[in-house]
Structure 1
Amino acid sequence: MRKMRTTIGALLLCIAAGAQGAQEPDQKQQFMQYVEGLKQEAATHAIKPEVIDAAFANVKLYQRAIKADRNQPEFKKTLDTYLPQAVPDWKVAKAKRLLDENRELLDKVGQAYGVQPRFIVALWGVETNFGNYTGNFSVVGATASLAFEGRREAFFKEQLFAALTILNEGHIQPENMKGSWAGAMGQCQFMPTSFLAYAQDFDGDGKKDIWGNKADVFASTANYLKQVGWDDDLTWARQVTLTAELAEELKGLKVKKSLAEWQALGVRRMDGSALPTRDIQASLVQPDDAHGRSYLAYGNYDALMRWNRSHYFVAAVGHLADRIKFSN
């Protein structure tokens, strides 16, 4: 009886394995059919036929991209534990060295767009470790896979057609258009739509190359910040201490008050002294909770949030920029 049960069990496992094996080719076939529809739709976006053929020549279904999109990690840290990992001493030293090495170019870009060079370098360092980790996914393949998955089809189709437009304009060859699993590209990790809106050809060679041309990388970063309201007369934020707990309705980026008003509410510099007397609007932000770090966030904090809507990301960029400044 046991032998019969074992035989039946093995048979069921084989049938299940066969069914699973059959599903994978079916899904790949469905994906390729979906791609054919994308190619036809791309033609209606004025993409050249030869660009469409080259872009989709080796396209494949990225299951890793789909899995990553479904299972994005949630932070279970605090800024006090996160920042030393995100901005270690070696990264600060490297940022300062690269700022010095590229000083002439960075100063030129900074003056052209009104963005302090230390923030350009800080974004470069936090996003891709100064261009060393830019992703190895085909942007066309990743965005097509995520559109096919369906949860955010409209968004990723928009990114795909933007990527095809970039290829159509000749900024990069299809085989070199690499990025993250989500389609963020190059040393500044622009999504394709952000590339079309903000990427710059700073050296005038006819291409907006955010993958390998530092002039274009720095200028594209600076242009993004400029277009979303950056003010090079201000820093990003100031860490503060509270003499008394404030009501929740006073917290968050939607609440703007002058430094004098925050002073009257008991907000002080970290050493307990009075806030500056400048006429600046700021928000009180506590990325963790009332027991964690408190910041007075200026308009440039909002600009960095447009880049990446994560208080931890903004804090990492700002913290690195501050450490570059104060290590000079």
Structure 2
Amino acid sequence: MNRRAKFASKLALTALTGLCLTTAPSLAQQCGGDFRQFLAGVKQEAVAKGLSANAADKTLAGAQIDRKVLSRDRAQGVFKMTFLDFSKRVISGYRMKNGAANMKKYAAIFQRTEQEYGVPAPVITAFWALETDFGAVQGDFNTVNALATLAHDCRRPELFRPQLIAAIEMVQHGDLDPQRTTGAWAGEIGMVQMLPEDIIKFGKDGNGDGHVRLKQSAEDAILTAGAFIQNLGWRRGEPWLQEVAVPQNLNWAETGLGKTKTGAQWAALGVQPRWGQISGNLPASLLLPQGRKGPAFLAYPNYNIYLEWNQSFIYTTTAAYFATRLAGAPRYTPGNPDPGLNDAQMKQLQTKLQSMGFNVGKIDGILGAGTRAAVQAVQERLGMPADAWPTPALLNRL
């Protein structure tokens, strides 16, 4: 994946008002209208914030509206793969082999990153692999054009205008080339796909050349990712995800994100580790991505940091599991999950749940947090195993 879904979730949650906002009478319009006048307002704001007029001119002089960016923005894809399908697809032998090779190749900077920020090499390496295939696929959208396009567009200027200002600051630092720097359609840059504001705030010079260049320097990308993940709340020396075996007499209604017991309490209920030792004193949620018959994981507090990076449950769980594999865990036991629902069935289920008073959000066929919670509540109400996995049997009962 070559863009930050965390940021994409912000895009989806922002109201699509279509209104042009203003900040102060002295500045040009916040969005819309004549594009060159809009850019003049951005320059004025950047200079007012202490950036040089020269850097603003250098950044904005050749900026253009990119219609492909608008097209991607209007038609954001939806995530409908199951955990087993997605994880098998993205955690390939190639990525496992190259992940191990990169952890060895950059062992010194990974060691420094863990010493300074507490984030282990496998955690960063998994993100590096899933975001850009270790830098091989970083996106081919001109970054300044993408940010200028989305800042000028009146859907979410409050999200993108600050990123365009930050891009000017990167140009001033010599860390972004307005003509040549490319990345994701929504403006993320580099091997771990970070936005300009985050690069300005957390960017680290890992190779000692005096610059932060996440596109070219693996050392910069690794150290910067460590600083960013630490800021999200990473807890040094603690696990993040652990595969477990679960007894079939468990109270499934106690599973899922947001429902925690200590590791010791889960162990007392018969939950057993498939590798390593359960961290008895830490709170943990029992995750069943495809129900009680599929893989099961204990998610410790550090798992929440993955949700800060990317709010897709399937991507998050896959990234966390991938990191455990890079850290030495064996391949998960896939089990034999009950069949799930196809797209039409999922939308039918969401429509029914909504009619029953549950907040499932948009009827989109995606098994998101709201739909999972509603499914679990209905399963419990009907006396079915409340493992939050929607099946044809549940749909038929409704």
TM (norm. structure 2) is: 0.68
Match of 1:314 in 2: 316
CA–CA separation in structure 2 for the residues paired with 1:187 and 1:246: 42
- Does 2:92 correspond to 1:88? yes
Match of 2:186 in 1: 182
- Does 2:75 correspond to 1:63? no
Contact in 1 for aligned 2:260/2:284 (Cα 8 Å)? yes
CA–CA separation in structure 2 for the residues paired with 1:198 and 1:246: 43
Match of 2:281 in 1: 279
Q: Find 1:73's aligned residue among 74, 77, 83.
A: 77
Match of 1:324 in 2: 326
Match of 1:47 in 2: 51
Match of 2:256 in 1: 251
- Does 2:32 correspond to 1:37? no
CA–CA separation in structure 1 for the residues paired with 2:52 and 2:107: 40
Match of 1:191 in 2: 195
| Unaligned stretches of 5+ residues in structure 2 | 1-31, 331-398
CA–CA separation in structure 1 for the residues paired with 2:280 and 2:60: 55
CA–CA separation in structure 2 for the residues paired with 1:59 and 1:327: 47
- Does 2:106 correspond to 1:102? yes
1:207 is matched by which residue type in structure 2? H
| CA drift at 1:266 | 4.7
| CA drift at 1:258 | 0.6
| CA drift at 1:228 | 2.0
Alpha-carbon spacing, 1:61–1:194, altered in 2? closer, same or farther (3 Å): same
| CA drift at 1:281 | 1.4
CA–CA separation in structure 1 for the residues paired with 2:40 and 2:221: 33
Contact in 1 for aligned 2:146/2:186 (Cα 8 Å)? yes
Alpha-carbon spacing, 1:291–1:32, altered in 2? closer, same or farther (3 Å): farther
Q: Find 2:235's aligned residue among 231, 238, 247.
A: 231
Contact in 1 for aligned 2:142/2:179 (Cα 8 Å)? yes
| Unaligned stretches of 5+ residues in structure 1 | 1-27
RMSD: 2.6
CA–CA separation in structure 2 for the residues paired with 1:180 and 1:277: 38
Q: Find 2:216's aligned residue among 185, 206, 212.
A: 212
| CA drift at 1:138 | 2.1
Contact in 1 for aligned 2:167/2:176 (Cα 8 Å)? no
CA–CA separation in structure 1 for the residues paired with 2:157 and 2:169: 18
| CA drift at 1:82 | 0.6
Contact in 1 for aligned 2:241/2:324 (Cα 8 Å)? no
Match of 1:294 in 2: 296
Alpha-carbon spacing, 1:36–1:251, altered in 2? closer, same or farther (3 Å): same
| CA drift at 1:265 | 4.4
Structure 1 residues 91-121: Cα deviation after superposition (integer angstroms, max 9, x where no partner): 1111112222222332233223222112222
Contact in 2 for aligned 1:79/1:293 (Cα 8 Å)? no
Match of 1:13 in 2: none
Q: Find 1:120's aligned residue among 115, 119, 124.
A: 124
Q: Find 1:153's aligned residue among 152, 157, 160.
A: 157
CA–CA separation in structure 2 for the residues paired with 1:29 and 1:136: 27
TM (norm. structure 1) is: 0.81
| Bigger CA radius of gyration | 1
Aligned identity (percent) is 27
Which of the pair is proportionally richer in helix?
1
| CA drift at 1:292 | 4.7
CA–CA separation in structure 2 for the residues paired with 1:167 and 1:255: 45
